[in-house]
Amino acid sequence: MKPAPFGYADPTSVAEALDVLAAEGDGAKVLAGGQSLIPLLSMRLAAPTALVDINRVAGLDRISASPDGVRVGALVRHAHLLASAEAAAVQPLLGRATANVAHPAIRNRGTTVGSIAHADPSGEMTAVLAVTDGSVTVARPDGSTTVGWRDLFVGPLETSLHGAAVVVDAFFPALAPRSGTAFAEIARRKGDYAVCGAAVVVTLDEDRRVAAARAAYLSVGAMPEVHDLTDAVGGKPVDSADWTAAGELARTLVDPDGDLHASADYRRLLVGALTARTLAEAAAEAERRTP
C-alpha cells in the first residue's frame, strides 16, 4: 500500500517545529529516523495531515553520559548509541538492547527516541526506558517538561503527548552500585520483532544477597510494564538464589495476548524461561561489580 497524502515541513529549530505542529493540531507527526513511522504510513495504520521532519534541527544528535545517567538526543541513531562506550559504561542495558534492534540498515537510520515516542510494545527501547525508570524531555510552546515513562505510555502505539509537542531527548538513569543487567529476546528470525523479550536489573546488598530484582518485557503487554520479582529471590545469597522461582512468579504476573506469531501460553512459557536466564546473568554481573 501507499501512504495517504500528507504535507511536509523541515524546520531548522524546535521552535519552528512546534509552530508547524500547533498549526496542524493532532494531525501532524514528527519524523526523525522514520523506521517506525514510515511502515505505519505505508500500511495506513497512521494517516497524518503533515510530517514535521526534524533532521535539520541542530543539537538533537548528541549522547551525554554522566554519573547520573545517559541522555540521548532525538536524532541519535541506534547505531550511534550501540557504538557509544561511554553510554554502555553508565547504563549497560542500552548497548545490550540496541544490539537486538532489527537489522544494521535499520539501526543506521532509526532513532532510539523515535522508537520510544511510537510506544511500540514490541520495541526494545521502550522496555529499557521502563525498567531503568527513565523519562523523556518534551518541548512545548510554553516550555519544556520532563515526562516519566509511566506517564508517557498510555496504550499500544499511543502516548500521552498530543498537539504541539516534540520529544527532544530520553534519559536513562545510571546503573546503581552493586547492580547488574541483562537482555534477551526470542524472534522467529534474527532482526524480526520479538515474540517475547526481557530486560532485567538485579541489585545486591553489601552482603551479596539479592536486594531487588525487576524486569520489563517486550511483546507481552499492550504497553511497557515493570514487574518486581524480589519476593521470589529477595534476601537470598546471590550464589544460591532460585532464579527459576522468579521466572515462575513472572509468569503469573504477565497477561499476554496470543496472535499469529505465538499463543498466550507460549509467551508465558518464554517469560518464565527468559526471566530465569537473564536474572542469573544480571546477578553474575552484579556480583562482579560488588566489592
* Confidence band, pLDDT 50/70/90 cuts, at residue 25: confident
* Confidence band, pLDDT 50/70/90 cuts, at residue 23: very high
pLDDT for 1 beyond 70: no
What pLDDT score does 238 carry?
96
Q: Give per-residue pLDDT as tens, 69-91.
A: 999 999 999 999 999 999 999 99
- Crossing angle between the packed helical segments 264-288 and 243-253, to the nearest 10 degrees: 140
What pLDDT score does 40 carry?
84
Distance CA 159, CA 151 (A): 8
Question: Which neighbouring-strand residues pair with 170?
Answer: 72, 136
Cell of 91: 547504563
26-30, 127-131, 283-287, range with the lowest pLDDT? 26-30
Walk me through the domains of the chain, giving residue ranges and CATH numbers: 7-52 (3.30.43.10), 63-173 (3.30.465.10), 179-288 (3.30.390.50)
What pLDDT score does 45 carry?
79
pLDDT for 233 beyond 80: yes
The fraction of the chain above a pLDDT of 90, given in percent, is 89
Burial grade of 27 (CB within 10 A; 0-12, 13-18, 19 or more): middle
What pLDDT score does 3 carry?
86
Whether the Cβ atoms of residue 114 and residue 144 lie closer than 8 Å to each other: no
What are the DSSP E strand ranges found in 59-178? 63-66, 69-73, 135-140, 143-148, 153-155, 158-159, 166-173
pTM (2 d.p.) = 0.96
Residues 6+ apart with CB under 8 A from 48: 6, 27, 28, 29, 41
What pLDDT score does 135 carry?
98
